Structure formats: C-alpha cells, structure tokens
C-alpha cells in the first residue's frame, strides 16, 4: 500500500514539474473545466426557457446535477483520466510491456501516471461556485444531505474509472481503438441529464452502463431521496462496475501478446 | 488524380480498423439519442415549440448529425499535431499545396463515418416511433448541397486557421475548446437556434458558425422563405470569402515561421 502511494506521489511531483514547464497546457486544462461549466449552464438556461421541469427535475435540481457531474469529472481528470486513457495506445504500440515487467501493478502505474493540477484547481473553483449556488438560490437542503452528497462524489469517480477501464481494455482484443475516448465523451452527454429523460433504457444506466452514478444519484440525495438507500445503491453500483471492469482487464491481460518489435 | 489518390488512401487506412468504425457507430447513436430525448421531455405533451413539432425536432438532430460528419473539419487537430511533431515537413515537400492536402485528407476521413451515420439514421427512420419529416420540394435538395458546400469551406478555413496557431503557440487546446463550446451553441448542435433567446439568435446570424450546420439543416427541414434564403446565402458567401482570404494570409505567415530540424 505504501509503495502504491509512493509511486503515486512521485508521479504527482513529475506532473507538477511538467505543469510548471508547459504553462499553456496548464491554462488550457483550467479553461476547459470552466468552459464546460458555462456550457452546461447555458444549455440548462435554454431548456428551462421552455419548461418548468425536465422529467420532474426543477432548474435548480439540474444546476445541482451539473455541479455534481463537473466536480466528479474534475476529480477523475485530476487523478486518473489522462493516465488510464493511455492504456489502449500503450497496448497498440507494445509499450505496455514496459509496465508489465515492472515489479508493481501495471494498471496502477498507468492509471496514476498523469496527475493534473489544473483539474484540482477546477475542483476548488467548482466547490466555491456550488457553495454560492446553495447560498444564493435558497436551494433547500439539510446538512446530512450535503454530507451524503459529498461522500457520494468518490463513487462517481469509481464509476467513471470503471467505464473507461472497461472500454480501454477492448484494446487487448481489437487493434487501434484509441477512439474509445470519444465514445466515453459521448456517454458523458447522457450523464449530464436526469436518467428519467432516457426512460426507455433507464435500467441500463444503473447496471450495464453505470452513468446514473456520475451525478444523478448524488443530486437525488439533495432532492430528498432516502440517504442510506441511495448511498448503498450508488456505492454498490459503482464498485460492482469497477469489479466487472477489472475482470475484463484481467482477462484482457491474459490475451495480451506484445506488439513491440 | 492526385487528390483522388489521397482520398482513396485515407479511406483505406481508416476502414482497416473495424472496431474503430464500431466505436464511431456507437458514438453516433449516443449523439443522436441524447438531445432529441431531452427535447422530447421538454415538449411533455406540447405539439409545437417555437414552430418545431416533435417530428421536426427528431429530424433536426438526425440531419445535423449526418451533416456534421460531412461538413465539420478536423484540420486543426491534424495540422497542430503535425506541426508539433515536425511531420508537416513531409506535406510541404509534396507536389500538392499543403492546405489542399489537409482539405482532401479531412474530407475523406469523414467519408466512412458518414456512411456509418447514414446507416444509423436509416435505422432510426425505420424503427422510430416518432415519424421523420422529409423534404417536399424538389428545389430543397440542390439548395442543401450548395449550402453544405459553403459550410464545408467555412468550417475548413476556420479549423485550418486554428491549426495554424500551432506555428506560434505550442499548445492550442484552449482555443480548440473555446471553438468547440462556441460551435456547439452557435451552430445549433444542442438545440435549434430559434429555441435560444432572441438576442442570441440575432448574434448567431452575423457569425459564421450557423452557416456550417444550422442553416443547411433548416433548409433540409424546409423552414425557410426565399428572402431568408437570400439573406443566409449572402452572409454565408461573405464568410466563405473572408475566411478563405484570412486562411491564405495566415498560412503564408505561418509557413515563414516554420523551420524543421533533422529527418
């Protein structure tokens, strides 16, 4: 365990040095995070210009969902996104061998290899904006709801990691599937809206494609859903998805034969 | 012949990886599904919203998805990566102008994806519980093609200029993000522009973005008058010329800055 964190902290130090060197990249990451927030709020404004509720959710509920989605997205980007998305390219080019022969989990090394400081700053900014949103809009929530909401955000990160890992693991069977990132991005479009909007395949979003845990269930807590019940479902769903993704990855590794020359 | 060869080689290199195509198909299905379902939830029993029926809204998103594959250029991605890696030197030595090469390359990259998108659209047209609307006038088709061609030109010119920024700056992702956010809203990706506040719709009229996607889609839905068509045509043609001149000037300046080492 200590070794895992030692590796992680080393990668974080390297990433900080990189951020100091490539300032343009740093600003880009920061701007992208903020841009997403503005973009999603704009869409909410347009949608609620024509209705008072979307699948039973008020404008404030949707805005809370946007914050839940964005904060968990930035958490995922900060610690895992850029690392885990390398997997398909590493497998395709044969560079995965380098990680496999090292005396530590290849998955861990790859997943934590790209820490992103701008995303951490975005998490802070989003938390401040979310607090302002709660204070200024009079969104009626209790302290226990807020605590449960916060405690469920890591579950969203777990679910995101699981989805990305399962998709990236396809590279063990198929050549050159680096565009899975685009599929992931398009799936994220679904997660930014209430699952009830996609009524005909809502069950899928809680099971096979666990997008309901990326912000929906967290926001439902704020809307008055039962705390313990929703929390257990969210963590069970996210952890279940992670186990399935790890299983796919493990089976994939057994299929892996080096592609390097 | 050379242009045809570039296109043929590009298409071949893209269709060799079948799983990539499946991924594109999946992406397309998700894109087509999300916003129509969101807007259908907004309708919630209403027949018409700002002149759009549920049939119109479903058709709108299917057509915009199809047109996006044909019209939207990704020259900025290719050019910026090639500049950073030094690969642009290869294209500078080829007996075809570099912007032309990127144009044909990009256009042919989108061909297999367009075919996939078309199959997805066809499946939706057959199985959708909400009927789709189809053009009724014969004039609509040539006008769509004309406006799409103008859209292809505007999109390529702007995206190529974005790519050219890589000659000055090491990282152009921020500009690309801003452009993506702008086009998603101003080109009508998330909703028809008539759904936006009036000031926003007026602003988008004078900017180039809506002429790449929104206007061709509105023509496909036959939501135009001759006067509106003339107005759109004039502004779109102006943007095509302005963006073409700007792209040429920028490329000349960019290439003066470029120097390659090794290889």
Give the pLDDT confidence of A191-216 residue by residue, as tens digits.
Answer: 999 999 988 888 888 888 899 999 99
The closest of A153, A100, A72, A107 to A248, measured between CA atoms, is: A107
Contact B17 A177 (CB under 8 A): yes
Which residues from chain A sit within 8 angstroms of residue B128, using beta carbons? none
CB pairs under 8 A between A and B: 97
State the sign of the Cα–Cα–Cα–Cα dihedral B104, B110, B112, B118. Answer: negative
| pLDDT digits 0-9 by tens, B30-48 | 877 888 899 999 988 888 9
**Which residues of A sit within 8 Å Cβ distance of B?**
22, 24-25, 27-28, 31-32, 35, 38-39, 42-43, 46-47, 49-51, 54-55, 170, 174-180, 182-183, 186-187, 189-190, 193, 196-198
Which residues from chain A sit within 8 angstroms of residue B171, using beta carbons? 22, 24-25, 28
B81 part of contact set with chain A, CB < 8 Å: no
Under the banding of pLDDT at 50, 70 and 90, the label for residue A261 is very low
Which residues from chain B sit within 8 angstroms of residue A180, using beta carbons? 23
| SS3 labels along B109-157 | HHHHHHHHHHHHHHHHHHHCCCCCCCCCCCCHHHHHHHHHHHHHHHHHH
pLDDT reading at A245 higher than 90: yes
Token pair of A80 as six digits: 């895992």
Q: Measure in Å the smallest separation between the Cα of B63 and chain A Cα atoms.
A: 18
| pLDDT digits 0-9 by tens, B132-171 | 888 888 889 999 999 999 999 999 999 999 999 998 887 7
Contact present, B108 and B6 (Cβ < 8 Å):
yes
Q: Measure in Å the smallest separation between the Cα of B65 and chain A Cα atoms.
A: 13
pLDDT above 90 covers what percent of chain B? 40
Name the residue among B38, B181, B196 with its Cβ closest to that of A193.
Answer: B38
Name the residue among B20, B27, B37 with its Cβ closest to that of A197.
Answer: B37
Name the residue among B19, B50, B178 with its Cβ closest to that of A170.
Answer: B19
| pLDDT digits 0-9 by tens, B209-237 | 999 999 999 999 999 899 999 999 999 99
pLDDT reading at A25 higher than 90: no
B230 part of contact set with chain A, CB < 8 Å: no
B201, closest residue in chain A (CA to CA): A46
| pLDDT digits 0-9 by tens, A75-112 | 999 999 999 999 998 998 888 998 988 888 999 999 99
Under the banding of pLDDT at 50, 70 and 90, the label for residue B262 is low
Q: What is the pLDDT of residue B213?
A: 93
The 8-class DSSP code of residue B207 comes to S
Question: Using alpha carbons only, what angle is made at residue B77 by residues B76 and B81, rounded to the nearest 5 degrees?
Answer: 110
Q: What is the pTM of this model?
A: 0.89
Contact A27 B174 (CB under 8 A): yes
Under the banding of pLDDT at 50, 70 and 90, the label for residue B93 is confident
pLDDT reading at B263 higher than 60: no
Q: How far is CA B187 from CA A4, A37, A116, B13, B190, in A?
A: 46, 19, 31, 30, 9
């Amino acid at each position: 365990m200590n070794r895992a964190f030692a590796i992680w902290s080393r990668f974080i130090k390297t990433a900080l040095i990189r951020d100091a060197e490539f300032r343009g990249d740093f600003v880009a990451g920061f701007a992208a995070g903020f841009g997403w927030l503005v973009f999603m709020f704009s869409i909410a404004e347009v949608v609620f210009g024509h209705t008072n509720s979307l699948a039973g959710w008020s404008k404030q509920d949707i805005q809370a969902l946007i914050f839940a989605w964005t904060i968990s997205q930035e958490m995922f980007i900060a610690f895992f996104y850029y690392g885990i998305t390398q997997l398909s390219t590493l497998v395709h080019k044969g560079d995965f061998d380098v990680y496999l022969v090292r005396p530590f989990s290849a998955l861990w090394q790859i997943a934590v290899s790209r820490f992103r400081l701008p995303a951490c700053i975005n998490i802070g900014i989003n938390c401040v904006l979310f607090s302002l949103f709660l204070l200024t809009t009079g969104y009626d929530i209790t302290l226990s709801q807020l605590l449960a909401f916060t405690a469920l955000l890591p579950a969203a990160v777990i679910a995101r990691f699981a989805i990305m890992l399962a998709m990236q693991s396809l590279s063990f069977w198929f050549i050159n599937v680096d565009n899975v990132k685009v599929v992931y991005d398009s799936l994220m479009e679904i997660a930014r809206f209430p699952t009830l909007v996609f009524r005909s395949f809502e069950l899928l979003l809680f099971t096979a494609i666990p997008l309901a845990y990326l912000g929906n269930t967290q926001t439902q807590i704020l809307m008055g859903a039962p705390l313990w019940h929703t929390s257990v479902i969210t963590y069970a769903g996210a952890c279940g998805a992670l186990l399935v993704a790890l299983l796919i990855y493990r089976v994939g590794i057994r299929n892996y034969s080096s592609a390097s020359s | 012949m050379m242009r045809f060869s570039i296109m043929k080689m590009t298409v071949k290199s893209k269709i060799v990886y079948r799983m990539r195509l499946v991924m594109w198909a999946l992406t397309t299905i998700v894109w087509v599904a999300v916003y129509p379902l969101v807007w259908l939830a907004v309708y919630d029993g209403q027949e018409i919203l700002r002149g759009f029926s549920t049939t119109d809204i479903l058709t709108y998103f299917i057509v915009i998805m199809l047109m996006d594959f044909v019209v939207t250029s990704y020259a900025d991605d290719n050019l910026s990566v090639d500049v950073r890696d030094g690969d642009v030197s290869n294209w500078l030595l080829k007996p075809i102008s570099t912007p032309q090469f990127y144009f044909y390359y990009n256009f042919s990259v989108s061909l297999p994806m367009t075919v996939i998108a078309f199959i997805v659209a066809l499946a939706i047209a057959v199985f959708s519980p909400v009927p789709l609307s189809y053009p009724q006038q014969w004039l609509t088709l040539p006008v769509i093609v004309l406006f799409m061609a103008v859209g292809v030109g505007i999109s390529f010119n702007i995206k190529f200029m974005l790519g050219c920024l890589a000659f000055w700056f090491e990282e152009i992702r921020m500009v690309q993000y801003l452009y993506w956010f702008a086009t998603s809203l101003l080109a009508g990706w998330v909703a028809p522009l008539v759904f936006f506040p009036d000031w926003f719709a007026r602003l988008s009229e004078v900017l180039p973005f809506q002429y790449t996607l929104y206007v061709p889609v509105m023509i496909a839905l036959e939501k135009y008058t001759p006067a509106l068509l003339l107005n759109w045509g004039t502004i779109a043609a102006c943007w095509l010329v302005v963006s073409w001149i700007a792209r040429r000037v920028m490329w000349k300046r960019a290439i003066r800055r470029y120097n390659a080492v090794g290889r």
